[in-house]
Amino acid sequence: MIGWEAWAVAVTDPLPAPKGEGCRSPSLSTFNSAARRGAGVDGCIFCRILSGELKGYFVYRDQYTAAFLDAYPLAEGHTLVVPLRHVQRFQELSEEEACALSRTLLKVSKAISKALGASSLTIGINDGPDAGQVVPHLHVHVVPRWRGDGGSNLHSIFRGARRPERVSMDEIAMRISSSIERLYSADAMLFRSRRVHIACRRSGSGSWTWRAARGPSTSGGSPRAGSAWW
Strand pairing of 58-61 and 4-11? unpaired
Alpha carbon distance 165, 132 (integer Å): 24
What is the domain count for the chain? 1
Alpha carbon distance 124, 121 (integer Å): 10
The 10s digit of each residue's pLDDT in 26-35 is 333 443 444 4
How high is the mean pLDDT of the chain? 75
Which of 116-125, 151-160, 214-223 comes out lowest in average pLDDT?
A: 214-223
Residue 4 sits at φ, ψ, to 5 deg, of -130, 145
Asked if residue 227 belongs to a domain, the reply is no
Give the CATH number for residue 68.
Answer: 3.30.428.10
Please tell me whether the overall predicted TM-score, pTM, comes out greater than 0.75 for this model.
no
Q: Structural domain of residue 83, as residue ranges?
A: 28-151
The string of DSSP letters for 157-199 reads GGTTPPPPPGGGHHHHHHHHHHHHHHHTHHHHHHHHTS-EEEE
Asked if residue 11 belongs to a domain, the reply is no
Is residue 163 over pLDDT 50? yes
The percent of residues above 90 in pLDDT, for the chain, comes to: 47
Which of 8-17, 32-41, 49-58, 178-187 comes out lowest in average pLDDT?
A: 8-17
Active site residues: 139
Asked if residue 34 belongs to a domain, the reply is yes
The 10s digit of each residue's pLDDT in 103-140 is 999 999 999 999 999 999 999 999 999 999 999 999 99
Asked if residue 199 belongs to a domain, the reply is no
Asked if residue 8 belongs to a domain, the reply is no
pLDDT band, very low/low/confident/very high, at 38 (cuts 50, 70, 90): very low
pLDDT band, very low/low/confident/very high, at 223 (cuts 50, 70, 90): very low
Single-letter residue type at 75: A
The 10s digit of each residue's pLDDT in 49-96 is 999 999 999 999 999 999 999 999 999 999 999 999 999 999 999 999
> Are 21 and 33 spatial neighbours (Cβ–Cβ below 8 Å)?
no
Asked if residue 124 belongs to a domain, the reply is yes
Asked if residue 12 belongs to a domain, the reply is no
Asked if residue 182 belongs to a domain, the reply is no
- Specify the 3-state DSSP secondary structure of 12: coil
Alpha carbon distance 211, 199 (integer Å): 6
